[in-house]
């Protein structure tokens, strides 16, 4: 199993991986400015999501249903990000856009406190590498299908990237979903007990 994971990780170009992180963090760094300037067009989607999250936090969820919801939402989101590799320059836009959306939601939820430190929470430490891997594959597929000259780049088929998604990305999202569900229920339990 370890050799399979190693082989699949070998399909990710390290330079492109760091580039995908860079574009994500551009969006994340812009989020506080977008939030404070109340840029309506850029705030519409993440604030809608933030509102839904606040409503969902008040509901009494069955743990299995909550986990399935979190896992499926993350899987669909990253699946769309992977498919963005089929459209010229869309992965670049999606990487910045995802960083911006996550940043706006985090800034709103945390009221600006611990904004950058929040990236080191246990759930983010599972979800972000999964997202960066997906953006990397989308960038790489963009490079392949549009014959962009990139030094030291080995092209892979979409099915080879789908294997990386299935074996590496999905288990990370699964673990993140379980952890996030547990943390939500732990938080609610502490709230109810008055701590």
Q: Report pLDDT digits (tens) over 139-165.
A: 999 988 888 777 767 778 899 999 999
CB 69 within 8 Å of CB 124: no
Cβ neighbourhood burial of 26 (10 Å; 0-12, 13-18, 19+): middle
The residue with tokens 């990386």 is 164
So what's the pLDDT on residue 194? 61
Could you tell me the residue ranges of all domains in the chain?
Answer: 2-56+67-189
Contact between 167 and 8 (Cβ < 8 Å): yes
Interval 26-47: pLDDT, tens: 999 999 999 999 988 899 999 9
Which has the closest alpha carbon to 52: 123, 109, 103, 114? 109
Mean pLDDT of 16-24: 96
Predicted confidence (pLDDT) at residue 2 exceeds the cutoff of 60? yes
Instruction: Identify the three-state secondary structure at position 37.
Output: coil
């Amino acid at each position: 199993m370890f050799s399979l994971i190693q082989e699949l990780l070998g399909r990710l170009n390290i330079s492109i991986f760091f580039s995908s992180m860079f574009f994500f963090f551009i969006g994340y760094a812009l989020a506080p400015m977008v939030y404070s300037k109340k840029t309506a067009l850029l705030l519409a989607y993440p604030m809608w999501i933030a509102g839904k999250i606040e409503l969902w936090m008040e509901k009494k969820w069955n743990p299995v249903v909550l986990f399935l919801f979190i896992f499926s939402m993350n899987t669909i989101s990253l699946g769309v990000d992977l498919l963005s590799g089929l459209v010229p320059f869309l992965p670049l836009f999606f990487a910045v856009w995802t960083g911006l959306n996550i940043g706006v939601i985090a800034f709103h939820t945390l009221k600006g406190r611990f904004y950058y430190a929040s990236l080191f929470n246990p759930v983010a430490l599972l979800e972000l590498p999964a997202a960066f891997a997906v953006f990397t594959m989308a960038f790489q597929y963009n490079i392949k299908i549009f014959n962009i000259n990139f030094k030291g780049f080995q092209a892979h088929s979409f099915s080879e990237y789908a294997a990386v998604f299935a074996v590496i990305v999905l288990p990370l999202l699964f673990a993140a979903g379980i952890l996030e569900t547990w943390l939500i229920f732990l938080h609610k339990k502490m709230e109810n007990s008055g701590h």
